[in-house]
């Protein structure tokens, strides 16, 4: 879970990278960083916290040059501390390189063991750093060739922005798990995780970076390579369900109407007699609109969100998460009292937030609370870059519907079906990754989480 950004040949490159990161803040809130190249030397500024906390009020004089990359991070691999914040920078025999990575490499443990066995000294506990070590060791003469050689060793999810002294490279893994788009700002090419970052800059959206594409921007212009063996692309459907911003055009389709369609199908699959549809803001809103349209039950803003606190999940410790639910949402008794409520959210993960929200609505006087989720039960952990807890913590992996309903203290619970989700997203089962919803894992991995924790989660603070 990260957001990445890159811009080539713009006089205000670092400033625009910071702006781009503001638009991608939803993809990661633990740290923010920007690297720039002045054509000779690479510069780096990063810190823990939100983009505004790291860069707000800063003049960016320490980030000169007309090429820049940016990164916002929410850790799926490696702990949350400054050395692990992106971009990560290294000096190598091919020159300096800075890397921003979104995704999770499933063979990072094998690669790290191999590299450490050969004497490599790692300075972070991220999976991304293996890419820099592979690059540093490549015997290819040309830096771009060295990068491409390294990329061929990677398995799993990697959308990348790579800054070299005089080039910017964008990469999307052959499965296309995570998004990456190309835009143009007055002749300067822009790379971003999502189109909402292009919109903010008033940059023109050109196209998605294709799965398996390596796009190189240098003095010779823009060119693309396709160095990986061809596989069936399987973009992550959870991006459509929850992760991406609803105003983004993702994998060729705008997210908001897909979420609305999920809500419409949910209403058909799990109708209920009720007085109002209440969205869990913000993530449940588009689906709640769809549910309301389909069912004819009015949409009522019965929960109010405080926008000045981050996403609930972002606080990594359970005790902190509990507090942040109350910080984030309040119910409106004047609207809810005596009413039969359909509460619509996008997903149920551990169930802890949802249980509190159901209680909030009930405490505000609702007569009935029917929870509707615009995605299927999450039964598996993601190993491709979305932070989902271990299976043992996933509610739907351990309980049947009746037990889930009792746990969240709702009158009923209804999940969108896997088929309904794909129908809304206009994807089909084999053409999108839905491993978290019980689908196959498109890239094999062996005990990744256990090994990854062992290798990468040593505390270096």
Collapsed DSSP state (helix, strand, coil) of residue 136: helix
Exposed e or buried b for every residue in 300-328, given b needs 16+ CB within 10 A?
Answer: bebbebeeebbebbbbeeeeebeebbeeb
292 binds ligand AMP (CB under 6 A): no
Interface with ligand AMP by CB under 6 A: which range of 102-110, 149-157, 212-220, 349-357?
349-357
List, as one string, the DSSP characters of 52-89.
Answer: HHHHTT---TTS-SSEEEEEEE--SSS-SSGGGSSSEE
- Please report how close the Cβ of residue 133 comes to ligand AMP at its closest, in angstroms: 28
Pick 299 or 348: Cβ nearer ligand AMP: 348
Instruction: Identify the active-site residue in 2, 67, 109, 236.
Output: 2
How far apart CA 354 and CA 30 sit, in angstroms, is 23
CB of 425 to ligand AMP, least distance (A): 16
Distance CA 222, CA 412 (A): 54
Q: Which stretch binds ligand AMP (CB under 6 A): 8-16, 93-101, 183-191, 383-391?
A: 383-391
Indicate whether 294 belongs to the interface with ligand AMP (CB under 6 A): no
Q: Judged by CB under 6 A, how many residues of this single chain contact ligand AMP?
A: 18
Dist. CA 419–CA 190, nearest whole Å: 35
Residue 290: how many other CB atoms lie within 10 Å: 26
107 touching ligand AMP, by CB under 6 A:
no
Angle, CA 231 vertex, CA 225 and CA 235 arms, to 5°: 90
Distance CA 51, CA 175 (A): 29
* Interface with ligand AMP (CB under 6 A), residue from 129, 346, 434, 445: 346
Q: Which residue, 127 or 387, is less far from ligand AMP as judged by CB?
A: 387
Contact (CB, 8 A) for 96 and 165: yes
- Name the minimum Å distance from CB 324 to ligand AMP: 11
Minimum Å gap between C-beta 377 and ligand AMP is: 11
- Whether the upstream peptide bond of residue 87 has omega within 30° of 0, thus cis, is yes
Minimum distance of ligand AMP from residue 65's CB (angstroms): 34
Q: Is 236 in the site for ligand AMP (CB under 6 A)?
A: no
Rounded to 5°, angle at Cα 239 from 407 and 217: 155
- Tell me which stretch binds ligand AMP (CB under 6 A): 202-210, 254-262, 326-334, 350-358: 350-358
**Which pair of structure tokens corresponds to residue 92?**
């190598």
| 315 belongs to the binding site for ligand AMP (CB under 6 A) | no
Whether 2 is catalytic is: yes
Please state, in angstroms and rounded to a whole number, the distance separating the CA atoms of residues 285 and 288: 5
Angle at 50 between CA 48 and CA 56, to 5 degrees: 100
Is 283 one of the binding residues for ligand AMP (CB under 6 A)?
yes
Q: Which of 52, 36, 54 is nearest to 44 (CA)?
A: 36
Question: Is residue 361 a contact point for ligand AMP (CB under 6 A)?
Answer: no
CB 393 → ligand AMP: shortest distance, Å? 9
Identify which of residues 165 and 355 has a Cβ nearer to ligand AMP in the complex: 355
If one asks whether residue 386 binds ligand AMP (CB under 6 A), the answer comes out as yes
Report the nearest approach of ligand AMP to the CB of residue 31 (Å). 16
Contact between 347 and ligand AMP per CB under 6 A: yes
Nearer to ligand AMP by Cβ, of 339 and 355: the residue is: 355
Active site (catalytic) residues: 2
List of residues contacting ligand AMP (CB under 6 A): 242, 280, 283, 311, 313, 345-354, 386-388
């Amino acid at each position: 879970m990260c957001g990445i950004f890159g811009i080539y040949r713009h006089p205000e490159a670092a400033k625009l990278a910071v702006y781009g990161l503001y638009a991608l803040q939803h993809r990661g809130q633990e740290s923010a960083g920007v690297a720039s190249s002045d054509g000779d030397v690479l510069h780096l500024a990063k810190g823990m916290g939100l983009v505004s906390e790291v860069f707000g009020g800063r003049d960016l004089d320490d980030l000169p040059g007309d090429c820049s990359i940016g990164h916002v991070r929410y850790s799926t691999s490696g702990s949350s501390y400054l050395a692990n914040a992106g971009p990560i920078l290294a000096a190598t025999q091919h020159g300096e390189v800075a890397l921003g990575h979104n995704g999770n490499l499933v063979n990072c443990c094998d690669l790290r063991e191999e590299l450490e066995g050969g004497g490599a000294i790692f300075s972070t506990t991220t999976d991304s750093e293996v890419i820099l070590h592979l690059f540093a060791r490549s015997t290819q003469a040309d830096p771009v060739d060295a990068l491409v050689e390294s990329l061929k060793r990677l398995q799993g999810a990697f959308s990348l922005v790579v800054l070299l002294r005089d080039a910017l490279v964008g990469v999307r893994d052959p499965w296309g798990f995570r998004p990456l788009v190309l835009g143009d700002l007055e002749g300067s090419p822009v790379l971003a995780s999502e189109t909402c970052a292009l919109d903010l800059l008033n940059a023109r959206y050109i196209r998605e970076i294709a799965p398996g594409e390596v796009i190189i921007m240098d003095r010779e212009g823009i060119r693309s390579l396709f160095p990986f063996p061809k596989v069936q692309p399987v973009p992550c459907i959870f991006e459509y369900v929850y992760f991406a911003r609803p105003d983004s055009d993702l994998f060729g389709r705008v997210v908001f109407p897909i979420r609305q369609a999920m809500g419409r199908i949910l209403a058909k699959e799990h109708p209920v007699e009720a007085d109002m549809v209440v969205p869990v803001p913000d993530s449940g809103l588009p689906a709640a609109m769809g549910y309301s349209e389909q069912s004819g039950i009015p949409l009522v803003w019965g929960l109010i969100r405080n926008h000045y606190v981050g996403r609930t999940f972002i606080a990594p410790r359970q005790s902190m998460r509990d507090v942040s639910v109350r910080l984030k949402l309040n119910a409106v008794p004047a609207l809810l009292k005596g009413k039969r409520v359909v509460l619509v959210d996008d997903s149920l993960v551990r169930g802890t937030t949802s249980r509190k929200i159901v209680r909030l609505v009930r405490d505000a006087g609702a007569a009935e609370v029917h929870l509707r989720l615009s995605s299927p039960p999450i039964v598996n952990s993601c190993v491709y870059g979305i932070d989902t807890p271990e299976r043992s913590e996933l509610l739907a992996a351990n309980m049947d519907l009746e037990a889930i309903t009792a746990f969240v203290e709702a009158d009923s619970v209804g999940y969108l079906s896997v088929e309904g989700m794909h129908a809304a997203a206009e994807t089909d089962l084999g053409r999108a990754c839905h491993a978290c919803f019980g689908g196959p894992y498109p890239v094999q991995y062996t005990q990744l989480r256990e090994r990854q924790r062992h290798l990468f989660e040593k505390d270096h603070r």
